[in-house]
């Protein structure tokens, strides 16, 4: 498979040689089409990346909020258990 680099090297050889202008222009158009295709691919990839990042940031934020709620719930339960334990020991202590 011929790469863009190969096409540019072919163009360079054409310019150094006695290649007719039409063939050189044809090679330039070929390179221009390949560059345009790469630019379009890049634009699509950049858009997809942006959408993915946006979606990930939203998911991460939601997970962090869920974790905070669950952690707060756990701390509240532990605080309640601790208070009940202290209350039970205090009542037994004075009995």
List pLDDT tens digits, range 53-71. 888 888 898 999 999 999 9
Q: d(Cα 62, Cα 71) in Å, to the nearest integer? A: 14
Per DSSP, 41 falls in state H
List pLDDT tens digits, range 7-32. 899 888 888 888 898 998 999 999 99
Q: Which long-range contacts (CB under 8 A, 24 or more apart) does 88-95 make?
A: none
How many domains are contained in the chain?
Answer: 1
Whether residue 10 contacts residue 26, with contact meaning beta carbons closer than 8 Å, is answered with no
For residue 79, the enclosing domain spans 4-94
Neighbours of 27 (CB within 10 A): 19
pTM: 0.53
């Amino acid at each position: 498979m011929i790469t863009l680099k190969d096409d540019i090297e072919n163009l360079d050889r054409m310019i150094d040689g006695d290649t007719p202008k039409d063939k050189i222009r044809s090679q330039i158009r070929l390179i221009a089409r390949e560059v345009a295709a790469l630019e379009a691919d890049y634009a699509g990839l950049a858009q997809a990346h942006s959408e993915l990042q946006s979606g990930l940031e939203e998911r991460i934020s939601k997970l962090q909020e869920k974790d905070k709620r669950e952690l707060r719930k756990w701390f509240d339960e532990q605080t309640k258990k601790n208070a009940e334990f202290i209350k039970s020991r205090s009542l037994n202590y004075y009995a």
